Amino acid sequence: MSVTDFTPDEMMTITAARALKNTDVCFVGIGAPSAACNIARLTHAPDVTLIYESGTIGTAPTVLPLSIGDGELCDTAVTTVSVPEMFRYWLQGGRVTVGFLGAAQIDRFGNINTTVIGDYDRPKTRLPGGGGAPEIASSCGEIFITLKQSKRAMVDKIDFFTSFGHGNGGDHRQRLGITTKGPTLMVTDLAVWKPDPETREFTVVSLHPGVTREMVQAECGWTVRFATKVIQTSRPTSTELSTLRDLKARTKAAHSGTKNGEAS
């Protein structure tokens, strides 16, 4: 694939990466959030501080970690602290500007489920669980979310509240005494979403190249709201694409145990 072509996943990852600033201290989720955060570090935000739940601070992995316990994170970190210190001093102490999360299910107000699909006692699917995500969602300055769109993921009502977003909308967070901003951005493989200033419902503000409003609605479980002015997301640059592809190639090679990432 040439640098003039890109996949929806590449579009999503690069667009999400652009949201991070060089001065951010970011609590990173595994998966798509990790890819976005490391692309930011490798391109426009070399001084961004990446923190993972295992206690690694200022980590700069050469490949994407398989989990928060991946040795790559500790090997490249500025320092590693205990998990209690990570949460009590760094996170709950208000020292983290951005939490970058994924979701198995999300609703229009940015509430996230990563616990269970179906009834909690008799689930259709038992998910990995919240880990530190509930604390990240309430204690980071703001929350960015990235996920691939589907009606299964973007639902009218989540099956379980793992991480609190804007609750029922409006000033629900403030009424509960939560002083942080909550979800301020969601990037999918089709669009960029931001919460309405009043209702806090996620609203499409930008469509990725080639994406229509009908395509966004077809992969969303609620009636989508669009901003008064919807722009087109900037296409990935050659530098962004080559950086992402190189990172993915290194990761595949490292995790497969071969130099070129192909199974032996």
239's CB contacts (< 8 A; 6+ apart) are 43
Catalytic residue among 10, 53, 72, 240: 53
Return the bridge partners of 145, or none. Answer: 101, 186
**Gyration radius of the chain's alpha carbons:** 18
Q: What is the DSSP annotation of 77-135?
A: -SEE--HHHIIIIIITTT---EEEE--SEE-TT--EE-SEEE-SSSEEEE----TTHHH
Distance, CA of 154 to CA of 104 (rounded, Å): 8
Quote the tokens at residue 194. Answer: 């931001």
d(CA 173, CA 141): 13
Is 10 a known active-site residue?
no
The 8-class DSSP code of residue 7 comes to -
Active site residue ranges: 53
